[in-house]
Amino acid sequence: MAIEDAGIGRSWARAAANEDDWDALYAEQLPRIYNFFRYRVGHGAVAEDLTSLTFEKAWTARRRYRRDLGRFSTWLLAIARNVAVDHWRRHREHAPLDAAAHVDAGERPDEGAERRSDEERLGLLLAALPDRERELIALKYGAGLTNRAIARQTGLGESNVGTLLHRIVQALRARWTEGA
């Protein structure tokens, strides 16, 4: 799933050469940014709004970045990360930890067998994560970055990224399994 910068860099190079290739670049990058936000802030309209904001900012500034052929993906994700930080700064609406604990039941007591969707359960588990951990998960599983690319984005060491992600995923999986 990992997306290599080099490939994206080549796409950006094509786009620089031909404005029409923006369509191709847009199609290539949109799912990655959109999923970054789905894992980072939640599903639905908020993820779409923040994706829009990220692309509008990038689009407005695109001509200044044409020479940076190899790092467009890094730049776009940096904008997305800033957009997410601003979002959380404005809307401190972290789900309380015990909300995630209730998910473990997997069923609403008063609604019999109606199960919450896996997506909803994962959303609540992610919402219970500290901000930094949730961002790492979003970069890894939403944006599809390698540990090395995450290290470049965050300034953490690559091995440190691997260790942190391993620990976070283990904890999430334990809760996920308990709630299954």
Partner 1 sequence: MDDRFLNQHRRDPEHGFANALRGRLRRLEEDEEAAPARVRWMPTLAAAAGVALVAGLFLVPAMRVAAQSVLDLFRVRTFAAVPFDASRMDRLRELAQQGDSSGDPIKLGVEKVETLKDPGPPRVYPTLEAGAAAARLERVRSAGWLPTGMAADTVRVQDEAAARFTLGTTKLRALFDALDLRDVQVPTQLDGQQITVRMSPALIQTYRGGTRRVQLLQAVSPEVTLPPGTDLAQLAEIGLRVLGLDRTEAQRIAHSLDWRSTLLVPVPANAASFRQVTVQGRPGLLILSSGMGAKGQRRREGSLLLWTEGDRVLALGGDLREMDLMQMAQSLR
For residue 110, the minimal CB distance to partner 1 (Å) is 27
- Where helices occur in 61-117 by DSSP H, the ranges are 72-90, 97-103
Instruction: Count CA atoms within 13 Å of residue 154 on its CB side.
Output: 24
For residue 85, the minimal CB distance to partner 1 (Å) is 7
- Indicate whether 106 belongs to the interface with partner 1 (CB under 8 A): no
- Indicate whether 52 belongs to the interface with partner 1 (CB under 8 A): yes
Give the contacts of 48 (CB within 8 A, at least 6 positions apart).
Answer: 34
- Indicate whether 92 belongs to the interface with partner 1 (CB under 8 A): no
Number of residues near partner 1 (by CB under 8 A): 46
Q: Which stretch binds partner 1 (CB under 8 A): 2-10, 47-55, 91-99, 101-109?
A: 47-55
Q: Which stretch binds partner 1 (CB under 8 A): 2-10, 78-86, 91-99, 102-110?
A: 78-86
Among 56, 93, 107, 131, which residue sits at the site for partner 1 (rule: CB under 8 A)?
A: 56
Cβ atoms within 10 Å of 174's Cβ, excluding its own: 10
- Indicate whether 172 belongs to the interface with partner 1 (CB under 8 A): yes
Q: Which is nearer to partner 1, 61 or 97 (CB)?
A: 61
- Where helices occur in the chain by DSSP H, the ranges are 5-17, 22-40, 45-60, 72-90, 97-103, 118-127, 131-137, 147-154, 158-179
Inter-residue long-range contacts of 145-149, CB under 8 Å, 24+ positions, other chains counted: 145/2, 145/3, 145/77, 146/2, 146/4, 149/2, 149/3, 149/5, 149/74
For the chain, the maximum distance between any two Cα atoms, rounded to a whole number of angstroms, is 60
Select from 98, 117, 97 the least CA-distant residue to 108: 117
Among 14, 35, 102, 104, which residue sits at the site for partner 1 (rule: CB under 8 A)?
A: 35
Binding site for partner 1 (CB under 8 A): 1, 23, 26-27, 30-31, 34-35, 38-39, 48, 51-52, 55-57, 59-61, 64-68, 75, 78-79, 81-82, 85-86, 90, 118-119, 122, 137, 140-142, 144, 166, 169-170, 172-173, 176
